[in-house]
Structure 1
């Protein structure tokens, strides 16, 4: 006998909040440094057709203990860091940074005819990797495989994504913390996408339109943390776009201060000392 699917349902809706970061960049932010969406810590949405909202960008600043994943819908971001990396990502591209023991970098925005629209995710590194070697990688839109359904499409940035029919794709980012998987789903009006989804942590962030997850609505600017199950059904009456986040929790203590995320406050204090005395990137 074949068991019937167990559909993922919404356990909690989290509303993004307006904030500013860098040199006055306007963002919508969801931050969860309490482990609620472990291994994910934070999601920032940058979206505006007004250059004054983002033109100051993010001047040089440090990070330790996390990974960042930046994904662009419109416009672009130019990245530079102390390791000598310098590159620009544009619509459909992504950039991944494993900060490990420390990176100092800057991110400066670019615009196109539709302004700037993008996302940055923070993923928590497990304790054993927090002082590891920093690494960086760009991923171009053409490298990202697509899983298609009638009136729906999933673009895999990282991790493995499978339809219930057995089709499977793997995103180019294979080293996301916590077995992380990230995808961009586009659902047309009347479309539906049904995925095999057994990851312990699973969340959906809607950034356009209204999405139905097992017949419950998620509107733009909301993140839904989903309960247990093995199947995810996404649908939209009028069309929607979302990010899908999946992973395995670390279940480790989280200590956070500004751009640093460690396990204990003593490690945060050490990061601050290292940055102030010039040994942060040594």
Structure 2
């Protein structure tokens, strides 16, 4: 089995967000990652590089999935939710028509390493009521059960792999999109079976795959199989989803379809009308 070369490769770049949190970011609000918008890697060992966290700020029009490898975060929002996630756990939030929230590091954490994914919502769902859920480590499924050399953790959506099939603790993110945490030992070969319409992303945050080094994101589109080979021990986040194919209008924490909708979001936030009542969870 030969590796499937990525159709394109993006490299994360250092920046900061919130109250000075050091991150590495990959983003594309022109549709090149559709249905995904942005991936932030939060990785800091020096306290001053992460302790300011992400104080209260608004969102509208998309979903976030925050996944922690090390450390912890406390979430509070305008829906009245309060949550805490630590290593191996995740927080999912669908901002819908509007939510104001904060994400603050645990004071007793020795460093922070995690990720936040932005997933776009279709026009028909951008003004839905907001929702939130914590996802505990013991709710996530692993493949395969009898092979200690490979670790495939399904966080969201369904996956079909050469090591077996599984589904994440979250049925989906966005419109049927999926996310997984993959650990591959050097020389291991893993195949993903996907739909021709799907866009597949692989972000290497430690080690190396064929064609992808640490801090790089591989992008595939128009394939029915993607073959990954570890050149050295590797940690990888995997994503897949069908592109929405809709216009993207973006300004700061708002992602809509038109500039008029962005102006409305800004106006609603400034007037105190952005945050909405929560929807009940199924």
Q: TM-score range by the shorter chain?
A: over 0.9
Structure 2 unaligned residues grouped into runs of 5+: 277-282
Q: SS state of the match for residue 237, structure 1?
A: strand
Match of 1:151 in 2: 149
Separation of aligned partners in 2, 1:60 and 1:258:
14
Partners of 2:259 and 2:2 in 1: CA distance: 40
- Provide the C-alpha distance between the structure 2 equivalents of 1:175 and 1:100, rounded to a whole number of angstroms: 15
CA RMSD of aligned residues (A): 1.7
The question of 1:173 aligning with 2:170 is answered yes
CA deviation string 1:211-250 (max 9, x = no partner): 12xxxx2011100111432222222232000100100111
Q: 1:262 aligns with which of 246, 249, 256?
A: 256
Say which of 118, 122, 135 aligns to 2:118: 122
SS of corresponding position for 1:236: strand
1:235 corresponds in structure 2 to 229
Report the CA distance shift for 1:85/1:133 in structure 2 as closer, same or farther (over 3 A).
Answer: same
1:159-185: CA deviation from partner (whole Å, max 9, x where unpaired): 1111236x3110011141131000010
Moved more, 117-126 or 197-206: 197-206
Where does structure 1 differ by over 3 angstroms across 4 or more consecutive aligned residues? Answer: 5-8, 111-114
Q: Is the 8 A contact 1:24 1:53 kept in 2?
A: yes
Quickly say closer, same or farther: Cα 1:278–1:111, change in 2 above 3 A.
closer
Say if 1:8 and 1:227, in contact at 8 Å, map to a contact too. no
SS at match of 2:171: coil
Whether the 8 Å CA contact 1:23–1:56 is kept in 2: the answer is yes
Whether the 8 Å CA contact 2:15–2:23 is kept in 1: the answer is yes
> Pick from 194, 198, 206: which aligns with 1:197?
194
Distance 1:78 1:265, change over 3 A: same
**Alpha-carbon contact 2:3-2:229 (below 8 Å) kept:** no
What is the Cα deviation at residue 197 of structure 1?
2.5
In structure 1, list runs of 5 or more residues that go unmatched.
none
1:44 and 1:117 map into 2 onto residues whose CA distance is: 11
Separation in structure 2 between the aligned mates of residue 237 and residue 31 of structure 1, nearest angstrom = 26
SS in 1 for 2:175: helix
> Which residue in 1 is equivalent to 2:279?
none
Tell me what 2:183 maps to: 186
For residue 114 of structure 1, report the CA deviation from its aligned partner.
5.3
